[in-house]
Copies of this chain bind each other. A is one copy, B any other.
Amino acid sequence: MAEIIKGAEVKANLIEQMKKKMEETGVTPQLAIVRVGANDSDLAYERGVKKTCESIGISLNVVELPEDISQADFEARFKEVNDDPANHGILLFRPLPPTLDDKPVIAMIDPDKDMDCMCPYNWAKLAMGDNSGYFPCTAEAVMQILQFANVKISGAKAVVIGRSQVIGKPVGLMLLSKSATLTWCHSRTRDLAEACKDAEILVSACGVAGIVDKKIAEGVAEGCVAIDVGMNFVDGKMCGDMAFDEVEPYMGKITPVPGGVGAVTNTIMCSHVVRAAVKAKTGEVFNF
């Protein structure tokens, strides 16, 4: 039977490290959320972030802008938020309403305040293996989980299913920079089970419920660590990319859905704010 890696434990561990760092450095990090309008999914994410921020002691500065704001006003307001040294990090909810263009603010944002890897400077750091950047939060959540679970990445055969900009691409690059032997699969991969054979780390992030099934699970290496990034809904019930009951017996460790990666993501975002605040105060560049 696989050990279940609980997102809540990873989260609690990370929060403890963050609090310690804040105490050591005496920073009070502040996150600015820029939200245009008030759609349900933005509000739900905001509530999650707010709760996490409160539990850590990060100040939250929610800048709500009217849905019918002009492009010029939107840019002007964003510039104020960006220029204000009290804001250590910025989270802009996207997609924006169709009347607004996010390119000017992506070009404008201080890379050191770009908490969710919007701007090219953070993408370049990711591609160049420079860990001082702020990378997409869900992808970093996967890496944080592997670190928490003491998984040896260097030299391990890692398989990533999916190559989206938000998860698959960054998680592959991060695994490569940690010296995994990486196999990258996606919708064009002809034989997924063959590609996953002997995997010691298996990350699925393609958003296809149950794509990792018994057939694939049978072929992985003994003790394989399975990280399920999928968030799919089948018959109204949330499930991952892995058919959990079929897959779990073949794995050494596995994350559930819900309660796995999803439980860590907004804490990663908060950890970026702490890193940014410490860098702004002391110049120290570090990772949790």
A residues contacting B by CB (< 8 A) are 120-121, 123-129, 154-155, 157, 163, 165, 169, 172-173, 176, 179, 181-186, 188-190, 194-195, 198
Contact = CB atoms under 8 A, between A and B. Distances in A.
B169 A195 contact: no
Contacts of A183: 181-184
Oligomeric state, in copies:
2
A123 B198 CA distance: 32
Contacts of A188: 154-155, 179, 181
A198 B195 CA distance: 10
Contacts of A189: 155, 181
B176 A181 contact: no
A145 B60 CA distance: 52
B184 A163 contact: no
A96 B163 CA distance: 36
B181 A186 contact: yes
Contacts of A194: 198
Nearest to A169: B127
A251 to B, nearest CB: 20
A184 B186 contact: no
Nearest to A198: B194
A129 to B, nearest CB: 8
Contacts of A129: 165, 169
A45 to B, nearest CB: 23
Contacts of A126: 127
Contact of A123 (B128, B182, B185): B128
B124 A173 contact: no
20 contacts: A120-B120, A120-B121, A120-B125, A124-B124, A124-B127, A127-B127, A127-B169, A128-B165, A155-B190, A169-B176, A172-B176, A176-B184, A181-B189, A181-B190, A181-B195, A182-B182, A183-B183, A183-B184, A184-B184, A194-B198
